[in-house]
Amino acid sequence: MAQYSADLDGVFVALADPTRRGVLRRLGRGPVSVGDLARDVPMTLPSFLKHVRMLETSGLISTVKAGRVRTCVLNRERLGLVDDWLAAERRAWEDRTDRLEQLLSEEDHP
């Protein structure tokens, strides 16, 4: 459970930045070189590479180097951590609102 929590925390930290979310959005259409990704972002390459490293560390992307070109690939399975967490939270809140609705219904009809 501790590892799941650490993994989830890392994914949310990576998703917290709009630049990194933009990279993930772009990678959703397919693999892209770091150079092509960096062209769309108004920052220096070294600054952009910090974002790429954060995404790679969180497991949201992987990079493959072929010659001088480093290509980024989205790890869709890693996004499943967020989906699983959201589903569990959704169930918890639905259970709470169902109990509240039941309680209020009982008060209306004593």
How many C-beta atoms lie closer than 10 Å to residue 14's C-beta? 22
The reported pTM is: 0.78
State the average pLDDT over residues 12-27: 96
Overall domain count for the chain = 1
Using pLDDT thresholds of 50, 70 and 90, give the confidence band for residue 5. Answer: confident
For residue 80, what are the domain limits?
2-108
State the average pLDDT over residues 36-63: 95
Token reading at 76: 């869709």
Query: How high is the pLDDT of residue 30?
Result: 97
